[in-house]
Structure 1
Amino acid sequence: MNLLDLGEVILLHGMDGAPVVYRGAPLASRFAAYLALPGSQTEVDGQHVGEAEVSWLAPRIEVHGFTRVPARFLCIDVAEQLLLDQAAHIDGLEVSRLYRTGNITSSPTMVADIGGMVRRALDIHDRDPEAFAQAGARRAFAAQLSALLLQCHLQAAGEPAVARRGRPPLPRREIVRRGIEHIQRSLRGEAAFSDIPFAVGASQRSLNRAFDDLFGMAPHQFYLVERLHAIRSALRSAAPGDTVTGICSRFGVWDLGRMAALYARMFGLQPAQELSRAVGGKPSATGATSTRRR
């Protein structure tokens, strides 16, 4: 069993024997999500948990589970206030749905994205126990993961409100303007990037088309480029005692390995080298493989 407590979210990767009957309930002021991994035959309150489903548990509501064969699972415990704060900014999401215990039928892709994010965080922590030591990294991970869980609720409720018929389409430049505004809020830690369709009021397809027309890239790529430049600026103005981990956590980076690879690909040197040059008072050249900002 692998447990990672990040405060607002707690992650658990475990395995049940078989056959096993169990019962339990989330603590007060906490929600929980249960994902049965491939090969499992698990039922929660008599409902099979499939690959396109998340078993959603409301605070203090007891559930009963049954595992027919040895089953691997992921469990996500989320602070109630975190979800409520995010849900308040999502058009079309009924907060009352969050307090209904039962299976959420989403999509295999969405559930796989949630599971992949949890497993990646557990792997990173195993390799580096200090990876989530910074509050910024913990908050960013919690916001991203809870945003995905809320998207599952939206999918289960039907088509997101941003794609409803009857709403006049936004001009593409307005979509981009709102998108950039949301991206900047995300970089300041004021919003989760994954909430961008709801913040803009447009479908993901419309967002992708608008950003591709103006910048030749999808919103997520634009966000990554902006974040790398923001991190670079912070590294170049670092003071003695600053660390790469501390600086990156300000911008919601919790997967330092992936970020460092992207940084080196764009600027031709590692973040640690950039920091060392800045603190040492040396000019920070970008190298021959640098990419000019759009």
Structure 2
Amino acid sequence: MMISHQPFAGFEEWIRLPIMAIEDLQHAVLGAQLDVAQLSGDEIGGSLMFSHGVDKTFSTARIDGNVSLLGSLPETRITLGIGLHCPPGTLLWLKEVASGSTSVWLSGETYDAIYRSGSTYLTVSLTEERLEELAADLDLVLDAKQLGETRISSRPLDPAALALLRKLYGRLHSGEWSEALAPSYIGELALDVMIEHYARKPRIMGEKRHDVGFARIVNRARTYIMEHLDAPISIAELARASFTSRRTLYRAFEDLLGETPQTYIRNLRLNRIRHDLTSAHSDGATVTDIASRWGVFELGRLAGDYRKLFGEVPSATFNRYGTLCATLTNMALCA
């Protein structure tokens, strides 16, 4: 059945399916090809939930009964997983896992799990490029080297994060909805938690010697960014314009500027917006007009990023300079 909430941009509706028989678990991870087996005479039950967006897919299950899931995961996507609740005897690749365990599957790798009654898990599948971009949005680095091979993480999830996710996904499977508990929100929250778990902070400038070609790469990228700052800029496009790979592009920005390409672009746009906010009163533009001029349409996110960089929200800058301009106009000093 379809969940009753307003869909968020970029997401389809979430789907909730009751688990009535062992065959229902063939789709326990959306996009995978799973062989399933019932391991005891206990009644099979629980629920499956999915959300398939443009660039990522969430799957979560609460399983009643003892089952085995074995098969190949999506060929073109990386899959990250969290064991939200793992009763004793829960196995992944025949290794016992506890609640809070996290796992990485590279594209097309084997999902081999034995779940005990009461298990709850969550997975998200997305491309390596998209994962790097989302990590960069959080000012973190998460590339193939950082992810490593298909594996169970040696570190359990942060206990506070695990407790929050268990509470939210427990409500999700129980059908307890509210505006404050939008399904897309908890999907994004879980993904952020997984990224923060696996990613690292960018290296500090001067931590290592600069590659001689990095300056050339960054200069080409900066030129392209300046020419396209008012339009969407993907990492793939930026890498092509810089005549390099995405991975080397990240390394060059991180080594020379101490930040990711996305952070550089975001901060440059914020500075352009601030410049226009301080001179917009003569042309009647609003904060929304100015933000959209530079390709920024999510005003809530703009306010947070702007405050983080400048210590105030855009409207405060706009209003302060509007008052100043009015005063100077009365003095015949502001056009």
- Structure 1 length as normaliser, TM-score? 0.45
| Larger radius of gyration between Structure 1 and Structure 2 | 2
Q: Which structure's residues are more often helix, by fraction?
A: 1
Higher relative contact order (CA 8 A, sep 6+): 1
